Amino acid sequence: MSTQIEINKNTIQYLDLFGYKNDKNINQLVNETKKLGNVSKMQISAGQGKFIEIIVKMIKPKNCLEIGRFTGLSSMCIARGLPKGGKLYAVDNSREFIDIAEKYWKIDKVKKNIISIIADGKDTMKNFLNKKMLFDFIFIDADKNNYLNYYKLSIKLLNKGGVLIFDNMLWGGNVTKNTKDKTTKTIHDLNKFILQDKRIDFSLLPIADGVSIIRKI
Ligand SMILES: C[S@@+](CC[C@H](N)C(=O)[O-])C[C@H]1O[C@@H](n2cnc3c(N)ncnc32)[C@H](O)[C@@H]1O
C-alpha cells in the first residue's frame, strides 16, 4: 500500500502557501497570463516553475531545450537556474504570446540567456540532431499527441546524465481511466514506454498535472 496522500483542495491551498517561496516576477507573469482568459490554463503552476528552477540549479546544464514556451514562465524558471554561459533554446510554433514572454524575461534579467525559436517542435529537434547538438536538460510541454515523438527525439538529444522533464503526465487523472480519448491514450502509452526503457531512470511525480523527471543513464 502506497503512502501517497490524496491531493485535495485543502492540500492544494497548503501547497500554495507553504510549498514554495513566493516570487514577485512569477506572480506578475501568472496574473498577466490569467487576463488572457481560458488559454491561461496552459501555463505551468508557479510551484512547478520553482521545482524546475531548483532542478536546473542542481544539474547546472550548459545547453537546455524547451518545447512549448507560451507566455514564458517555464522558460524563465529554466533560465534562472542556468550556470554562467548556459543557454536555453525556447521553442514554440506560435508567435502569439512571445511579447509577454520577452517582457518578463527582460524584467527577470534572463532574456540574454534565452534563444527564442518560432518553429515546430519536432522539426526543431530533428534540426538539432542533424547538427549533432546535444543538451543537458530538456523540458517538454507542447502538443500532447506528439509526446512519444518528443520523448524518442529527446533521448537522442540528451547527453549521458542529462535530464528530461515532461509536463501533464497524469493528464487530469484521466490516465487512470479506461478511455478511448486519443490524448489520454498517448500519454498513458508514453508512461508505459518510459517504464520499460532501459536507457533511463525516472520518477513520475504528482506535482500539478503530473511531472515525469527522466535521467539518461
Ligand atoms: C501548455 S503550453 C506551454 C506552457 C509553458 N510551458 C508555460 O510555462 O507557460 C503549450 C505550448 O506549446 C505550443 N505548441 C503546440 N504545438 C506545438 C508544436 N508542434 N511545436 C512547438 N510548439 C507547439 C503552443 O503554441 C503552446 O504555446
Ligand 1 neighbourhood includes 70 CB (under 6 angstroms)? yes
pLDDT tens by residue, 124-149? 999 999 999 999 999 999 999 999 99
pLDDT tens by residue, 4-15? 999 999 999 999
Q: Kindly give the distance from the C-alpha atom of residue 9 to the centroid of ligand 1, in angstroms, as a whole number.
A: 27
pTM, entire model: 0.98
CATH number for the domain whose boundaries are 9-216: 3.40.50.150
Q: Kindly give the distance from the C-alpha atom of residue 24 to the centroid of ligand 1, in angstroms, as a whole number.
A: 24
Ligand 1 neighbourhood includes 42 CB (under 6 angstroms)? yes
Q: Kindly give the distance from the C-alpha atom of residue 161 to the centroid of ligand 1, in angstroms, as a whole number.
A: 26
Q: Read off the pLDDT band of 197 (50, 70, 90).
A: very high
Indicate which atom in ligand 1 lies nearest the CA of residue 33.
Answer: 9
Instruction: Please give the pLDDT value at position 1.
Output: 64
Q: Residue ranges of the domains in the chain?
A: 9-216
Mean residue pLDDT across the chain: 97
Helices and strands, number each (H, E), in the chain = 8, 7
Q: In what order do the strands lie in the sheet with 63-67?
A: 114-118, 87-92, 63-67, 135-140, 158-167, 211-216, 200-205
Indicate if the pLDDT at residue 56 is higher than 90.
yes
The alpha carbon of 191 is separated from its chain's Cα centroid by a whole number of angstroms, namely: 16
C-beta separation of 117 from 68 below 8 A: no
**Mean pLDDT value of segment 171-176:** 96
Indicate if the pLDDT at residue 210 is higher than 90.
yes
| CA gap 85, 1 in Å, rounded | 46
